[in-house]
Every structure is written in structure tokens, then in C-alpha cells.
Amino acid sequence: MKQYLLFPHNDGDLQDKIFESPFGWLCSSLQKKGIELHTYDRGDLAKADKVLCFNHRPAAYAACQRAGLRRDQLVLFLMEPKPVVPDQYRPEVWNQYGTVFTFLDNLVDHKHIFKMYYPQGQELMEQLPGWSERKFLTLMNANKYSYVQHELYSVRRQAIRYFERNPDFDLYGFDWNHNGTLNLGAASQAFKSGHWIQYVMDVIAGFRHAACYRGTVPDKRATIAKYKFAIAFENESKTQGYITEKIFDCFFAGTVPVYLGAENITYYVPADCFVDFRKFSGFAELEKFLRAMTEPEFLRYQKNGQRFLHGPAFAPWLPKNVFASITEHL
């Protein structure tokens, strides 16, 4: 039996722990082809038939080179967008790997770089809270900073500053209410990109606490379901096909997402399922629209989202289909 090894997102996923998630479908799909898959700590790189890398990490690539692996034995998954790992979005990096998978439609050539979908392993709630049981609006994301073009972390902070004056807006996630910009990574990226003034401004603003912050939660879906609307902004805008769990988490919770991210979102997700932030001049106009929405209008959005989850348009995001497609190119 052939053996593939995997460098996961982080060391917390070693000892094959990553396969306890929807990525377990990748193991199952490869097993059907007579291929055994483990994280790299459970095998010998020099004996691996192929090595899969979730994001380009120079240390991992160097380990593969030391093990004598050829280019055609290396597979890169561009799991994180440019605001998170900007250095991996360079052709010279992609050319170090025999096969590359990406969420971005405009990079796909069907020869060297192939399309993948962000696997969605959530389950539908047995019963969705009603209109009267839901508060107005929530935002649930970790507090992060990036200084590359089209990042949306700063736009999320703009949304928080606008809506925090409302008692029916709640913020959840990691690293809020302490200064997340005080780290070498953010500082280095800011200075390299010429945004050091913005970095200094963010450091100062980062000491300001948000009264709307409610901490972290054990069940994201159940918490989102307590709200009529949720701000679902991707990490990056102006992309083609980069669509993550942010909009789908809302559908699973029966919450109407306010979406910003992929320019071609309506190619994948019907426009009647979500509120498109691009249609508004700013947060004041958005709030006016959301406040004016009636219960029947909300229920139409909700019903359309549920129909999408049960229909063929959502099928490419189901883990078994995501990894069956990937396996065809490995």
C-alpha cells in the first residue's frame, strides 16, 4: 500500500488528530485507491510516496528536500488566503510543488493548479429559534490584523465600532479586548508593505475595549442561531471563489448572513439567501435595511438558505465530495 504524509495547519493536528474532523474523509477517499494517509510525525518522509502540505511553510518544504523528495511528490494546499499567508501567493512558490489546490477560481488551470472547496461538516439544527426569540445582530470572528491589499479584518472592526452602540449587537471570538497588534508577525507585515503608520494607529486603537464583547463560545452554530442577522465577512475581498464557513454557519443556524468577500458569490450561492453588503453605501444604510426587514421577509431569506443547503448547489462543499474530487488529482 502506498503511503502519503501530511503537514497539517498546526502542530495541534499532529498524531493524526486532524482526521477526527471533516478531513477524515480525505483518509477514506485515499484508502479506496490503496493509499494510507497519516500526519508526517507518524511516518518517514524519505519513504513517502507523496507529501501533502496545508499551506507553504519553508521549514516543512526544507524537510521534504532533505528527505530527497521530488517536485512531483509534493502537493500544496493553499488553505489560508493572502491576508493570512501572503508569501505563498507567488508563482515561484507554486512551482516548487507538483500539484497545487486552491479555493481561488482565477488561479486554476486544471493542469498544475486545481480547484477545491472549503469542506463543510456542520449539521442542521433540529429546531430553529423563531423570529421573536432572536436578537438583532452578531459578529463572530477572532480579532486579527493584516496589512495586505483587500484584507477585511479592518472592515470587521469598522462594523464593530458602528454597531457597538446598540444593545442588541453582540461580539464573540478570540483575542478581542486586548491589543492583538502587539506581535512580531503583524509588525513585520505592516512595515514590509509600507503600512507602518496604520500599524501604529491600530496598536493605539487596540487598547480600547468593546462593551459589546461577550467572550468565546463552545457552540458557534447555537450562538449564531440566537440572532436574526450575522456579519459574515471573509478574510479577504475582491476574490473569485474563496468562500468559507462564514456564510454557511449562518445558513445552518437559520440566521441571515450579511456577506462580503468573493466577488462571484452569486455564482455559487443564490442572491436571495443572504444580504449582500456591496449593495449598501455603508453601515448606516445597512442597519436601516436590516431594521426595516419584516418577519415574513426574514423567513423568506431563511427558507431560501435552507433550500440551498438541501439542494445540489451545496453538494460541492460536502466533505465526501470535496475530498473525492481532490483524490482524483493525487
325 lies in a domain? no
Residues 109, 157 within the same domain = no
Q: What is the tally of structural domains in the chain?
A: 2
Question: What is the predicted pLDDT for the residue at 163?
Answer: 98
> Which one of 92, 116, 140 terminates a domain?
116
Residues 280, 141 within the same domain = yes
Question: What is the predicted pLDDT for the residue at 193?
Answer: 81
Residues 45, 90 within the same domain = yes
187 lies in a domain? yes
174 lies in a domain? yes
Q: Is the pTM of this model over 0.85?
A: yes
122 lies in a domain? no
330 lies in a domain? no
Residues 299, 161 within the same domain = yes
Residues 43, 140 within the same domain = no
Full domain range(s) for residue 53: 2-116
Question: What is the predicted pLDDT for the residue at 182?
Answer: 78
124 lies in a domain? no
Question: What is the predicted pLDDT for the residue at 207?
Answer: 79
Residues 197, 275 within the same domain = yes
Residues 149, 284 within the same domain = yes
Give Cα separations from 104 to 81, 169, 261 (angstroms): 9, 32, 12
Task: Give CA–CA dist 298/275, Å, rounded.
Answer: 11
Residues 155, 186 within the same domain = yes
Contact 52, 73 (CB under 8 A): no
213 lies in a domain? yes
Residues 109, 139 within the same domain = no
328 lies in a domain? no
> Which one of 93, 116, 139 terminates a domain?
116
What's the CATH code of the domain at 261? Answer: 3.40.50.11660
> Which one of 116, 151, 186 terminates a domain?
116
Question: One-letter amino acid identity for 307?
Answer: R
66: number of Cβ within 10 Å: 10
Digit-by-digit pLDDT tens for the chain (330 residues) are 999 999 998 889 999 999 999 999 999 999 999 999 999 999 999 999 999 999 999 999 999 999 999 999 999 999 999 999 999 999 999 999 999 999 999 999 999 999 999 999 888 888 999 999 999 999 999 999 999 999 999 999 999 999 999 999 999 999 998 877 877 778 788 778 888 788 888 888 887 888 999 999 999 999 999 999 999 999 999 999 999 999 999 999 999 999 999 999 999 999 999 999 999 999 999 999 999 999 999 999 999 999 999 999 999 999 999 999 999 999
**With the C-alpha atoms ordered 110, 239, 7, 76, is the resulting torsion angle positive or negative?**
positive
Copy the grid coordinates of residue 209: 475595549
Residues 26, 82 within the same domain = yes
Task: Give CA–CA dist 173/188, Å, rounded.
Answer: 24
Residues 6, 141 within the same domain = no
Residues 153, 79 within the same domain = no
Contacts of 37 (CB under 8 A, 6+ apart): 3, 4, 5, 6, 19, 26, 27, 30, 31, 52
Of 328, 266, 272, 268, nearest to 299 by C-alpha is 272
